[in-house]
Structure 1
Amino acid sequence: MKISKTLKLTLPLLFVMSGAGTASAYFAYHMGSQALQGVSQPENNPTKKLGDKSKKSTKPTEFKPIDEKTILIRVYDHTHKKNKAAESKNKQESKNNQKENKTSQSIDNNPQELKSSQTVANLPLHVKDQGVKLEIQEASKERTTLSFKVNLQNEGVTPVRFLYSFLEVKDSQGRALSAITEGLPQELPPNSENFVGKVKIPSALINDSQTLSFNLTDYPDQKLQLNIAQIPVIR
């Protein structure tokens, strides 16, 4: 009798628990379905894309450094363009200085002073190598700089290119000096006319040196050696 009562109580309890579990599972499934609405399966497999990329070539490109000569030419061309405006101004100043020199020469007629000037100047000086001629025609003092009038001429059959940053100017003690060129062409054509320009050196760099030396070579071959020594310093 007791067993039958226990069984009667147990069976309803099992049915209630089974119903509660079924209801919970249904509600969980329903809520999960609503939460996943709008979420679709990707069209392509991501792992497949990674596999395709791995098949492509991953060989690094070869590093090619820029040639030093190319860099120097670009730097010179950039600097040369900037100096064009300054060159026109300096040419005008040069014309004015020539007028002043002519005026001073007409005033100073002392034979002794003229003879002393010729002895100190000892110009022109020139050198020639492989048909290319460099001549230092005269020297003059312009404010805070010592200016040399120079001529360049190519009597050969091939053009010659110059990079004037390679112009070496040294004093009598062998110390290198900074110099600025004006009016000289970047390239001398074959059988060319005479090109006139200037080489200017700050007077403060010369100190007590009595002579200077110029050394100019072509670029980029550097086959020419235009070397002039014992260039007098005008003070």
Structure 2
Amino acid sequence: MKLNLTVAVTLLLLVLMLGAGFVSGMWGFALGHEALKGVSQPDARPITKTKNLNDTPPGAQAVVMLKEADIIKTVKVMMQKSKQRQPEKKNNTDNRTKLLSAVDPTQSDAAPAGFPIVSKDKGVTLEIRSVRQQQGSLLLDVSLKNESSQSVKFLYSFLDVTDDRGRPLSASAEGLPGELPANGEAFSGTVSIPTTVLEGASRISLTLTDYPDQQLRLQTSGIPVR
């Protein structure tokens, strides 16, 4: 009796489980079908794709593929136009330089007006060739030449530079020889003055003597700084 009851209960539970699974599957299928409404499979047919590309919607711009030959031709034309403009630009630059030279002589390639400034003593010549500003310094392009019968020594730490107000200015010399031979050869160098000490000055003076005798005195004045 008990065995028959157990079998009956087992069969009943099995039927209930099958029924519940069937109902759950149907319910899930219904939900999925409802969610996929309006979704269609993409059309992968080549004919359809070509048709869609040709049918460009109004207002949309179609992509235009340029030919390689057309691109090369366009580039050549642009290069020719660029070459034609270059001589014109150069001519304009030359004309501008000539105009500036006519108005202001300092804009030409020639030495600025007033230069060189020369000082001579006992066969030794000091020449100030030009003045320029570079990286916060006033640079004097100078040269020394000894046409006497004996060499001359200089100690450039004794170089005396003053402005038009009489104020002493710090200066340093580069490229000039410590001993100037008596061969008439010109030696070039620079005298550097910080522009910070030149405030309010318009002209400077430079004095150089030989060392240690100080029998030679080379003095220049009126050197413009602006």
The alignment's TM-score, normalised by the length of structure 2, stands at 0.54
Cα distance in structure 1, aligned partners of 2:96 and 2:212: 48
Tell me how far 1:166 sits from its aligned partner: 0.7
Tell me what 1:115 maps to.
Answer: 105
1:150 aligns with 2:150: no
Cα distance in structure 1, aligned partners of 2:107 and 2:215: 36
Q: Which of 179, 183, 198 is the matching residue for 1:191?
A: 183
Q: Which has the higher contact order (CA 8 A, sep 6+)?
A: 1
> In 2, are the aligned partners of 1:120 and 1:232 still within 8 Å (CA)?
no
Unmatched 5+ residue regions in structure 1?
1-103
Tell me what 1:139 maps to.
Answer: 131
Tell me how far 1:168 sits from its aligned partner: 0.2
Tell me how far 1:123 sits from its aligned partner: 1.2
| Count, aligned residues | 131
Amino acid of the structure 2 residue aligned with 1:137: R
Cα distance in structure 2, aligned partners of 1:105 and 1:134: 35
Cα distance in structure 1, aligned partners of 2:159 and 2:96: 37
Amino acid of the structure 2 residue aligned with 1:111: S
Could you say which structure has the larger radius of gyration?
2
Tell me what 2:168 maps to.
Answer: 176
The RMSD of aligned alpha carbons is: 2.5
Tell me how far 1:111 sits from its aligned partner: 2.4
Amino acid of the structure 2 residue aligned with 1:200: S
DSSP-derived class of the 1:126 partner: strand
- Identical positions, percent: 42
The alignment's TM-score, normalised by the length of structure 1, stands at 0.52
Cα distance in structure 2, aligned partners of 1:144 and 1:128: 30
Cα distance in structure 2, aligned partners of 1:227 and 1:199: 14
Over 3 Å counting, the alpha-carbon distance change for 1:156 and 1:135 in structure 2 is same
